[in-house]
Structure 1
Amino acid sequence: MTAGRSDPPGGPAGDPGNGDEEFRATVFDESFVRAAALQEYSAVQRLEQQTSPVRRRTIEEPSPAPRSRMLPRNGLAVAAVMLAAILIAVFLGNGGTQRVANAAREPVPAATLLPLAPRGPVPGAEAADLYAASPAAGFGTDLVVPDGGETDGYSHDQVADALLLARRYVAAGTLTPDVLTGDAVAPVRSLLVPSQQRQFDHASRPGADATAATTFLIRFDSGAVRLADEEPRLEGDFEVSEEGGRLWITARHLVAYALAPADDSDAPASLFLVRRVVALSFGTEELTAGQVVLERADTAAGPLDCAGPDTEAPPGLLPLLAGEEAREAPADVDAGIDLFRLSDEGVRPCGVFAAS
């Protein structure tokens, strides 16, 4: 064995315990060297310059990218932000994609109004006596909906919801006193989908003809008539069907109103009959929103004068009251129309009540 050690004091090269281990993972690349704050002279430089072994270096700042190269990228970013803002504004302004899809449908209800003229003077009496002397004696004062069951595309609960909405719509448009006298429109309007609310506003404007307003509701000219009884009598039913993936509710009702002159509280009342067939449709959107789509409304009503009013269009139907006669009636009056039979009638400009 030889005296002394053959290994350096710090241990053999590559020994995990030596002092270089902590620098083993460090990569001294060119950028690292250039970033050093001090530079050590070589041995030759120290002999020639006879100065300190090191000198302080001036750190070179990275040169900025040419402005001409940055502007296009910034411009594209700004344009992208502006385009996104415009698209969001358009999206929110249209109420989202669902509302745009619904607006594209814009259903316009088909409607007919058949005025019925009386045969001779209109009879008058107390409201209770008028009901008792007509087939309306057996009518009720409330709407009854059936248990609609279910269809291929709609559950029992969805059909039940549609029937309740249809009932609310029919009640709002044919039985609500404030709606009948023109003092309110909200009970009907609020149940329509937004696109039909705009149509309703147009039909309800002053000067609109009676057919337009009667498409959505029953309304009388409150300047000429008043309700002698605020509980109309009615009879009818609701029918459930499915067509084109939508749920349809068809309401057929005959309503008897007792009316009297607006300016005479002592005048006798007279009966005014309205046969109304309303077709409503529903999708899942309408059922969720609690609104209806009015597809069709066919109305036959009287006694009315086939000649129409002498002045401009009244704000609602202008019935003939007790003692009044029609100035003009259809020539063909052999059979007439019996609204109490609830039979479908063809479209015609005017009709006449059956003798019964």
Structure 2
Amino acid sequence: MNAYGEGLPAYRTIRMTVQEGPIAAFADEEAWRARERYPTIVGMGLPVFVAATESERGGWEILAPAGDTPQAVRDSLGSHFRRLAKGAEEAGRAGDRKKYRAAYEKLDWVAADELRVLGTRYRVVRVEQFIRLGPDGPEPPRPSDPDPGEVGEAHGLPSRLTGFVIDPYTGTGMAEGLLKFDLMQFVLKAGTAPPDVRGDSLRAVETHPGGVLLPAEFAIAECGKDGQWKPHSGAAPSPQAARDRLATHFRVMTPMQQRLSEAEVEEYARAADRLDEKRGPGVAVAGRRFRVARVEQLVRIGPDGPEGPRPSDFDPDPPIEVHSKQLREQGLLDDDEDEGGEDAALELEEDMKEMKRLMDKEEARRAAWKRKKEAEKAAKRGVRRGAKPEGPGGL
């Protein structure tokens, strides 16, 4: 279905198609219900960014999970070219290695948002994030949202963004198509952002009028004393990854940041335990309310492909070699310093020592949790096979 009329290019169209298969149909039905239960759409805050490469099959393929700033993604792209250069060297392709090396060396010095290497284009792509709100707060994860990974281990699973192809020609269900249309019209209201940020927002609707929805991610939202929900953490690839971040925050960061008493530390630890045990959509602790919120993600599309960083986007860090040069000029970096010697070792501050202690404690707790769950699974398998469980009356 063409949302703007006939005869327009693919990047300005929204193709709504019948979703094949029961899972896809169920997901589209859930998306439709979400429009009624959570009708308000708000921007989550600052955008995130991904590195993508133009695909021969059409569209742009995302190479890695998102970064918070354009420079973080440029650094990631530089690492990608280093790996390609190493592979080319091992394969005896000296010419390719030279091209890849030139690419990563350029990124070490220049804040480049697009490069062409061996005939392939690479780009830093801007991703806008949104949350649906209803009378009861932000939309939680849907039953159809994938939630793989054991407690404490979800962070190690691959992101659904990696390998995703940004292609406006790909069809969506009716509800997702309408959501895409709504998000494509989104601009910052006057007075809600600095003039340059709002100006870039208005221009983007003209320069990049199309859009592609990325797989949803999940963040932690907290309800303030005024009843307004605000982001507490950045987006994670799955609901369990978001829960793990909050549980770790309760066990490690909250005690440090708020200088809690022993009783308060135990209260937050119990809340983290509830998150681990129930794997639910939220938790309340010490008069505070937290929820796992579903994050919709949109990449704007123009005639030349996905939108890159805007001039007003937060991008405080220079390329790595430029930063190193600045530190040397300020006398803060000594190339001749023996980094492995005792003279270079800095004693940890007290708060860093405390953080290390709490992180070590958390790692030990996670290992114990994993052993416990593995033992429970082994016991259940034994019962299903007809094994007689050990106990006081067993043989």
- TM-score range for the pair, normalised by the shorter chain length: under 0.3
TM-score calculated relative to the size of structure 2: 0.19
Structure index of larger Rg? 1
TM-score calculated relative to the size of structure 1: 0.21
